[in-house]
Amino acid sequence: MDIIEAIMTRKSIRGYRPDPVPKKVIEEILEVASRAPSSMNTQPWEFTVVAGDVLDRLRKANLEKLASGQTPRMEASRGGYQGAYRERQVALGIQIFQLLGIAREDREKRMEWTMKGFRLFDAPAAIIISSDKSLGDAAQFDLGAVAQTIALAALHHGLGTCIMGQGIMFPDAVREITGIPDSKSISICLTIGYPDWDFAGNNVHSEREPLENNTAWCGF
Ligand SMILES: Cc1cc2nc3c(=O)[nH]c(=O)nc-3n(C[C@H](O)[C@H](O)[C@H](O)COP(=O)(O)O)c2cc1C
């Protein structure tokens, strides 16, 4: 696949076929994605690949914590969004709910959708990306680069991904289930699997700001 086509084709996949993804394929994707750049070639990323019973335990733990009223949080913290950022976040939600036929006031269906996120979209596998806490925020940029590279490399194998926070928003549960130690910061995860193209939520084509709103040209 041509690189521009890959970048333009990649989108967040939130509905998957149940077919398992062979370990060999994920291994190949991670090997390719490890060519991503990182500050001073520090390669801060650590991958924990989960599937089968282990992933099911994570889904269950997430739902239990959500049901018990615990507040989901990103360990590599992000504040709430405001202004234009909040508007874009809301626009995405509206787009998804419209495609899924979920009305604004239908709290039950909205909750069901939230729970699907905490079930990691029922994907057959997920890749958790963590880094050593000693690196602090410095690693986050590099982790972003590797996450996008994984998402692009996955396309080569007919796989879809969603870079997502929801799956790892109860980090204690992630640690308990996967054995990721306290000394590591759990930054993000990607769901990965064969897209279910019959799932309406996969038809989202997310908007982008025109360049004139975020680009300055100097010296041209
Ligand atoms: C750091 C990060 C966290 C994200 N977390 C979630 C998430 O928890 N749930 C979700 O449905 N999508 C999540 N996404 C996917 C974004 O919503 C998506 O990338 C954005 O809407 C643009 O859409 P696209 O990926 O289809 O181009 C996340 C993306 C990033 C980069």
d(CA 42, CA 50): 24
> Look-up: residue for tokens 């996450």?
147
Instruction: Give helix then strand counts, H and E, for the chain.
Output: 7, 4
End-to-end C-alpha distance for the chain, whole angstroms: 33
Indicate the top mutation candidate among 7, 10, 12 to test ligand 1's pocket, ranked by most ligand atoms within 8 A of CB: 12
- Can you tell me which atom of ligand 1 is nearest the CA of 204? 26
> Model pTM greater than 0.85?
yes
d(CA 5, CA 10): 8
User: Do the strands 125-132 and 46-51 form a parallel or antiparallel pair, or are they unpaired?
Assistant: antiparallel
Residue with CA nearest ligand 1 atom 2: 164
| pLDDT tens for each residue of the chain, 220 residues long | 899 999 999 999 999 999 999 999 999 999 999 999 999 999 999 999 999 999 999 999 999 999 999 999 998 776 789 999 999 999 999 999 999 999 989 999 999 999 999 999 999 999 999 999 999 888 999 999 999 999 999 999 999 999 999 999 999 999 999 999 999 999 999 999 999 999 999 999 999 999 999 999 999 9
Ligand 1 contact, 126 CB (< 6 A) = no
